[in-house]
Every structure is written in C-alpha cells, then in structure tokens.
C-alpha cells in the first residue's frame, strides 16, 4: 500500500469490546491484571501488556504503530511535544565529555537545549556549517556522539545535503539525527536518505491543523544501544510520554496529512511566486522556487512539493511591524502548518528573548517575515499579504 493508504488503514492490535472502527481513547492510568504472574510479566517487559500510562497506553501505541507502518521504521516513540522528543533523543545519545556536531541554524529552543541545557551536563555543542562537508569533518573527533540537523532550517530555509552528511556519519560510526518537522515523513524515505533517527514536532503537520502538541522519534534501528535508552531511560525516567487524547488527535491528523501537504504546498508555491514580483518585497525564501539556492538539494531529498513555510524580507524591521499590524485574514500567530494561514516576525518573537548578537550569529534577520500557508483560497491569502505589504512600505515611498 502507498503511504497515504497506510496512514488510514492500519488496524489496531486488539479490537475493543464494541469493534470500534476508530481507535478509542483509553483514558486510563492503570490496568488491571488477572493474576500475579501476568502482572509481573507486564512490569518486567516480558509481555507487551500496558501497566501504567506514563510509559504505555494503547491509544498512543496505535499512533506509534501507524507512523511505523508509514515510515517502515524499527521503532517509533511518541512524546508530549516536539521538544520532549528532541531532548529524549539527545539525552539518549550524548553523555558528559561528548560533543554534538550541529548548526547555528536551529529552532530557538533546540539551540538553547544544545548550547545551555546539555552544556550543564558536560556535553559540548559544535555548531558549524552543515552545508560545508569539510567544516563538518573538521569538527568531528573521537568524542563526537552524533550529527544533528534540521531538514529545512527555520527561518533561514537552508537545506543541508543529508546524503553527504550520512556518508560522513557512517565513516565515523555515529548516528545522523534530523529534525524533519518541516517536511513530513510521508514525503520521503528517511532510511533511504541515510538518516538513523528522525525527530518530529507532530504539533505541526501531523496534528491536523494545530489540534494538539506532540513529538516523535523515528528510529531506523541502526544504533541498538541508543534505541534501548530512548524507550527504557528517556520515556520512563523523564516522563514526557504522549497523552492518549493527543495520540487520538494525531492519528486523525495522519489520515489527512498527505492531502493537506499537497494543498498547502501548491498554495505556498503560488504565493511565493507572486511575492517575488510584489513591490516592497526584498527577497523570498522558498525551496520550491526554481532559483532558490537550495531548490535542487531539496527536490532530490524531499520531492517536488516545497511545503507550507515561506519567508520574505521587507526593507526594515519597522516595515515588518507595520506589515504584521496590517493583516486582516492571515493570523498573527506562531506555529507552522495550521489549517489557517499564519504570519510572524521571528526576530521580535520566537528569537526575541535572545541577544542581538546571538540573533546575528544564528542569521535571524530583523527584516524577515515567516508565513505558514493554510488551506484557505490562495488568492485570498495573497490579497491579504499584498495589502499589508503595501501599507508596510507606504511610508518609504511618499507621494509628492
């Protein structure tokens, strides 16, 4: 079956007493056992029967299995947020004295996790240019425990060549881990592109229009010691497991993921093309545009559709402020891949608490607006953007 069919039709392991067609939400914390031996077997991992919903819940297991069927992964683990999945992943891979080779272009909390939180536990973040293989090689040594990247960085929209990075990771016997939140796993084969682990904020594309927070680790089974730590150490000891209600919402989201991605990518491409020739727009960042510097790399890794995230630059920060204030339909909100179109000025919001020097180091420009293109009519979305851009740049072009 194709991925979109698997996303809808994977049956759940055991039918419930009513033969429910949709996996029920098992809002239970504990599970009752018939006797002492089956209870001991469940607690000691000798059976797959759930014992306590911080570590195992049938609704969450069903969601994990669906993702596993779509991705053909060895194991999928679901967490309460994307950040919970990323931290579980990195705490399962790193230990004191080790270093992680990554990039300056990271989601804000991931950047802080690497440069502040993990640092307190004796782990060094080596931030280099992941699009320059020689720079990557120069940063790896015998204490490097993984290479970590984001498939498309946000908001810089940089696309590193995962296949090249995979070759380097293999040479050194270390895992290649990618945060692939921005390109859904229905669009590419993580194993084939050379990833050992994917971490995904399922809050975004998977949740089905911003219904719930969630995160997953997709594990291709190449590093058994790390796999063991994810399940037995991070899930059990950090307590960041997904809730059954979120798993239910996310399973529904999976069913429409491909359709939403197709629609949003089509609209995003149309809007990106129109923004290129809109007066006042200085530049547009979208990997689906043929003249984008990452277009070929993106296409070869993730296919023809460029996704729903588009960025564009206005002449200065004050124009960005006026643009955000002038929007009528597009929502002033963070998040990506909501059903509604969203706009945000990353420098003053997501990255606002960081110092100007740190923002500069991370290439977060004061002039950039990030859009998440929703399911509305693309013409309506563009019309709202255009009128807001006109208002934003008006004071720069006074009519005499």
Binding positions for ligand PLP, rule: CB under 6 A: 81-83, 107, 150, 154, 179, 181-182, 201, 203, 213, 215, 336
DSSP secondary structure of 4-44: HHHHHHPPPSS--TT--SSPP----SB---SSHHHHHHHHT
What's the closest the beta carbon of residue 393 comes to ligand PLP, in angstroms? 28
Nearest in space to 172 (alpha carbons), one of 201, 206, 147: 147
Is the Cβ of residue 45 or residue 352 nearer to ligand PLP in the bound state?
352
Rounded Cα distance, 270 and 149, in Å: 28
What's the closest the beta carbon of residue 85 comes to ligand PLP, in angstroms? 8
Rounded Cα distance, 208 and 82, in Å: 15
Tokens describing residue 340 = 């509604």
What's the closest the beta carbon of residue 18 comes to ligand PLP, in angstroms? 33
Is the Cβ of residue 71 or residue 180 nearer to ligand PLP in the bound state?
180
What's the closest the beta carbon of residue 43 comes to ligand PLP, in angstroms? 30
Is the Cβ of residue 240 or residue 280 nearer to ligand PLP in the bound state?
240
Please, are residues 164 and 178 in contact by the beta-carbon 8 Å criterion? no
Count of positions (residues) in the chain? 400
Is the Cβ of residue 82 or residue 288 nearer to ligand PLP in the bound state?
82
Please, are residues 184 and 205 in contact by the beta-carbon 8 Å criterion? yes
Burial label for 130, CB within 10 Å (0-12, 13-18, 19+), is: buried
Q: Beta-carbon neighbour count of residue 276 at 10 Å?
A: 14
Tokens describing residue 166 = 């995979």
Is the Cβ of residue 47 or residue 117 nearer to ligand PLP in the bound state?
117
What's the closest the beta carbon of residue 102 comes to ligand PLP, in angstroms? 13
Query: Bridge partners of 370?
Result: 311, 344
Is the Cβ of residue 247 or residue 336 nearer to ligand PLP in the bound state?
336
What's the closest the beta carbon of residue 371 comes to ligand PLP, in angstroms? 14
* CB-based closest residue to ligand PLP: 82
DSSP secondary structure of 118-159: HHHTT-EEEEE-TT-HHHHHHH--TTEEEEEEESS-TTT---
Is the Cβ of residue 94 or residue 336 nearer to ligand PLP in the bound state?
336
What's the closest the beta carbon of residue 149 comes to ligand PLP, in angstroms? 11
């Amino acid at each position: 079956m194709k991925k979109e069919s698997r996303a809808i039709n994977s049956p759940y392991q055991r039918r419930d007493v009513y033969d429910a067609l949709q996996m029920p939400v098992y809002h239970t914390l504990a599970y009752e056992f018939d006797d002492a031996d089956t209870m001991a077997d469940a607690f000691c991992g000798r059976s797959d029967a759930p014992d306590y919903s911080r570590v195992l819940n049938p609704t969450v297991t069903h969601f994990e299995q669906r993702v596993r069927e779509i991705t053909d992964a060895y194991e999928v683990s679901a967490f309460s947020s994307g950040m919970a999945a990323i931290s579980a992943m990195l705490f399962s891979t790193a230990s004191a004295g080790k270093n992680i080779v990554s990039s300056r272009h990271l989601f804000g909390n991931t950047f802080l996790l690497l440069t502040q939180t993990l640092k307190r536990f004796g782990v060094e973040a080596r931030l280099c240019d992941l699009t320059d293989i020689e720079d990557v090689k120069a940063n790896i040594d015998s204490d490097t425990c993984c290479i970590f990247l984001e498939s498309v960085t946000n908001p810089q929209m940089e696309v590193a060549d995962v296949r090249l990075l995979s070759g380097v990771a293999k040479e050194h016997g270390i895992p290649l881990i990618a945060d692939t939140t921005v390109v859904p796993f229905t669009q590419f084969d993580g194993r084939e592109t050379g990833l050992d682990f994917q971490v995904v904020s399922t809050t975004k594309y998977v949740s089905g229009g911003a219904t719930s927070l969630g995160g997953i680790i997709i594990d291709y089974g190449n590093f058994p010691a790390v796999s063991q730590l994810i399940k037995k150490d991070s899930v059990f000891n950090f307590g960041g497991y997904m809730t059954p209600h979120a798993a239910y919402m996310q399973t529904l989201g999976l069913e429409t993921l491909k359709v939403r991605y197709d629609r949003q990518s089509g609209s995003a491409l149309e809007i990106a093309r129109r923004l290129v020739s809109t007066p006042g727009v200085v530049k547009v960042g979208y990997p689906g545009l043929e003249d984008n510097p990452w277009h070929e790399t993106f296409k070869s890794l993730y296919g023809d559709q460029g996704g729903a995230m588009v960025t564009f630059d206005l002449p200065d920060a004050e124009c960005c402020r006026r643009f955000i204030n002038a929007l009528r339909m597009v929502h002033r909100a963070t998040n990506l891949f909501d059903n509604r179109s969203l706009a945000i000025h990353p420098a003053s919001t997501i990255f606002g608490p960081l110092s100007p020097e740190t923002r500069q180091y991370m290439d977060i420009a004061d002039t950039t607006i990030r859009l998440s293109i929703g399911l509305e009519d693309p013409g309506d979305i563009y019309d709202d953007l255009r009128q807001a851009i006109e208002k934003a740049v008006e004071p720069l072009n006074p009519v005499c």
